[in-house]
Structure 1
Amino acid sequence: MNKTEKAKSIIIVIGLGTSGIAAAKYLKAIGNNVVLFEESESSLFQQLAKKLNAEGIKVKLGMPLQWSSFKSYLNQISKVVIGPGIPWDQSTLKKLRSKGITIQSEISIAWGSLKQIPWVGITGTNGKTTVTHMLHHVLSKNLIESEIGGNVGNAASELALTLKRNHTKKTKWLVIELSSYQIESAPEITPQIGIWTTLTPDHLERHGTIDNYYKIKRGLIENSSIRIYNADDKYLSNHREELPHGLWVSTREKKTESQSLSDLWISSNGKIIEKGKELFDSSILQLPGDHNLQNLLLVTAAAREIGLSSKEIADAIISFKGIPHRLEKTFELEGIEIFNDSKATNFDSSETALKATLGPLILIAGGRLKQGYTKSWMEQIEMKAYAIFLFGESRYKLKNIIESYNFQGEIYCYNDLKETVKKSIEIALSKNVKSILFSPACASFDLYKNFEERGDHFKILVKNFLEKHNS
């Protein structure tokens, strides 16, 4: 491409979200002409647009992902870059491809820049964020330079920009959480280590069937040089024979002898065993629930492959306190523990939190309903819940689901979280309840930008209530 052609060529980035902004900034930094399309024209986006325009990134507001937005640019577009929230087979993208225009994802842009650094690619329906943070913590505590990002923390292309600008930074590993949306749009990603935490029905409104969802996740693991699986996950375990060779971990075998179906497991006295050799006591982990022991084993397996000793791993794990919004104990009031589990955006994740929380409890759930199986979630509710408080877009749909199982406790429905929090704590104080668990089992997009904003609002509401109550 000559200079005149390059001057005419532009890359269009879709969306003023985290991924879109990161991709646009990185592409601009490496010499591209970038135009960013955003459908909304809100005051927030107007402010963002002003800042980006000052950096040489042209932002066009009021530009939905429709064919009409692209017509006047067709002779200039070299590629269109999308974030993970946009379906890979969206109709306008298909039409752009038919015109010979390349569609690329933000994570793919980042991979092109960062692939010279070994990746740990972490995927799964649940558990991947905790595993990502825990592994990064272990590496950092052992002075191994690593960065965390992808589907959590910084967008991967933001990491690419940071490392491009800081040539002295000697990053040894990238610990990258990867969602099914990201994997689907970047099949070229080949991690040094791939970790598969769990697989249960999720995002079926986009992927159609659990088989399609499984195949997308499997693609990342097949591309990985070293593969680590959770043998306690029913779906993964059932597909063990057909999955590529890798390391398997389990909390359920509870064996003391050297023979095990898994490469790492927990003995009957709580010791972590690696191929017959005792590493350290699992009780050093400060997080509740068997699911967190599974996470610990996955992290230990990866850290061992990276080259850390059992003592180095154990010394780091002792100080790991978990992550915000995932079964996060936020307050205690008159013996009642209050947990923020806003990251539970599906039934399976909420079920896991219910298992780990002391009952009888009050469950707060609601948001934008996803497809998924409710039977196991309801079994935990029936065992643990004194009452259920439902809020948001799906409150009445959830009420119908819960009533269909003949739940015997009280069910309360409220429009938003403010009234829900107030009433739930008042009921908890008047009854013999041990815990309040905010574990929505739904996406946050009915009322919030993301689960982090939802969880932060929950904590603010609880804090305000407690200040009034204690004054």
Structure 2
Amino acid sequence: MVVGLGRSGSGAARLLQAQGYDVVVLERGDEPALRDKAHALRQQNITIQLGCPLELDSFAPWLDSAGEVVISPGIAWDHPTLKALRAHGLRVRGEMSVAWDALRDIPWIGITGTNGKTTVTHLLQHVLAYAGLEAPMAGNVGHSAAELALEVLQGTRPKPDWVVMEMSSYQIEAALEVSPRIGIWTTLTPDHLERHGTIEAYRSIKRGLLERAAIPVLNADDPDIHRHCGQWSRSGLRWVSCGDHSPEAGIPPITVNAQGWVSQGEQPLFPADSLPLPGDHNRQNMLLVTAAALEAGVSASSIEAALSCFTGVPHRLEPLGFVGGIPVFNDSKATNYDAAAVGLRSVPAPVVLLAGGQTKQGDAGPWLELFQSQVGGVVLFGEGAGELANLIETAGFAGPVIHRADLDAAVPQALSLARDCQANSVLLSPACASFDQYPNFEARGDHFRQLINAVKDP
């Protein structure tokens, strides 16, 4: 049984059906788009039940015959109905687990972290492909894991040399058997606490993936990961650091040396400015990718060449051009305070900042500390504008803080403010989720790009 008709659920259903299983999909919705999707899956001999809430009664007709229940990442792992299903003796697992069973003869690179994992996933896939390796990416980005597995199973995609899998905490906790050949942990800051409850629980889920990896690659520049570096009982850790944060013991780390070269221990590999993306966080991403690519057998010269032609990932400090000679950046993926702080540190100051949306739990302190040195003015929009304004004003920021209802009104205000205060950049870095006004951060970033494209310099 599969719960949910989203990308993960439908992918898992199709994969399991192709493997010879009888599959039943339960979906709580019943809108026309879902009916169309259900009709297509029924043509593949998959049973679909629409309008089924996530309650034990919905499963009743199949409880005695079902072997397992596969859930999508959006369903809480401790949902009462899942607990009841386990009590009935059913195995409950995530879509990522189904994909792992289908692809376990191919080496995986599992990438996780609060921030940075999508950029690392795209960059690593680019580096491996540049070296001539078949290394598709999937998971929390692009294809679902099950969709990729189905393509490989059906022969519509060549058998990969590596699978580059971005894994969220939701996906990891529901697929504890996933043991990647290489694991990468980018960062850890408080996020998704409404789901996991505590930072300790969230950290434990992320760390579990790295504990199970044959080769764990860790970012020593991340304060939380570095603070807990002494708690690893296993050997073979690969550390990276832009500074001097790598633990001394163990395998020589990947660092940036005093001459500005990426180095492995004392061995220089290539100039650190090979990656043409702004910000210290992107240097950390580059080092994580370098460590993983070296472990995958890619030469330093090939890594350098691939880095030099990487153009970045949309919505992550994406340069949109200039308006009145002022550069504009789309950082819509900055959905929490920590990611937004990275954005403020990465673009030319003073910044006119666009922020707002649906606020999240977390420590706003490090973000607010940057306002005095980095921010010339702020334009707030969306549901959380009032809450953010209180935080900013309480922190003592003396510059202008302007409220607008939405991006349509906020963007022209920000561009006008940038001219008035002689800003050196305009940055959309919301520090909030997008769900008050958009289906996702991509839609928010796309809207921002459209607004800027209409007025930017030729």
TM-score normalised by the chain length of structure 2? 0.94
Aligned match for 1:53, one of 16, 34, 42: 42
Offset of residue 119 of structure 1: 0.6
> Is it true that 1:320 corresponds to 2:295 in the alignment?
no
Aligned match for 1:250, one of 219, 241, 256: 241
Aligned match for 2:168, one of 176, 179, 183: 179
Q: Paired residue for 1:408?
A: 398
Amino acid across the alignment from 1:249:
V
Q: Paired residue for 2:256?
A: 266
What CA RMSD, in Å, does the superposition of the two structures yield over aligned residues? 2.2
Q: Paired residue for 1:157?
A: 146
Amino acid across the alignment from 1:112:
D
Contact 2:221 2:245 in 1 (8 A): no
Q: Paired residue for 2:342?
A: 352
Amino acid across the alignment from 2:161:
K
Offset of residue 261 of structure 1: 9.4
Aligned match for 1:361, one of 323, 331, 351: 351
Q: Paired residue for 2:112?
A: 123
Q: Paired residue for 1:439?
A: 429
> Is it true that 1:137 corresponds to 2:130 in the alignment?
no
Offset of residue 49 of structure 1: 2.9
> Is it true that 1:105 corresponds to 2:94 in the alignment?
yes
Deviations 1:148-189 (A, max 9, x none): 011111110011001011177131101111111111111111
Contact 2:151 2:157 in 1 (8 A): no
Deviations 1:246-287 (A, max 9, x none): 0111111399xx999961111122111111111110111100
Q: Could you tell which deviates more after superposition, 457-466 or 273-282?
A: 457-466
Deviations 1:263-315 (A, max 9, x none): 11111221111111111101111001111111111111111111122111111
Q: Paired residue for 2:3?
A: 14
Contact 2:4 2:72 in 1 (8 A): yes
Q: Could you tell which deviates more after superposition, 96-105 or 457-466?
A: 457-466
Q: Paired residue for 1:237?
A: 226
Q: Paired residue for 2:322?
A: 332
Amino acid across the alignment from 1:174:
V
Contact 1:253 1:267 in 2 (8 A): no
Contact 2:193 2:361 in 1 (8 A): yes
The alignment partner of 1:77 has SS state of coil
Offset of residue 102 of structure 1: 2.0
Query: Identity percentage over the alignment?
Result: 45
The alignment partner of 1:429 has SS state of helix
Q: Paired residue for 1:449?
A: 439
Q: Paired residue for 2:208?
A: 219
TM-score normalised by the chain length of structure 1? 0.92
The alignment partner of 2:332 has SS state of coil
Offset of residue 107 of structure 1: 0.5
Q: Paired residue for 1:304?
A: 294
The alignment partner of 2:354 has SS state of strand
Aligned match for 2:180, one of 173, 187, 191: 191
The alignment partner of 2:136 has SS state of strand
Q: Paired residue for 2:382?
A: 392
Offset of residue 35 of structure 1: 2.8
Offset of residue 372 of structure 1: 0.8
Gaps of at least 5 residues in structure 1 are: 1-10
Amino acid across the alignment from 2:71:
I
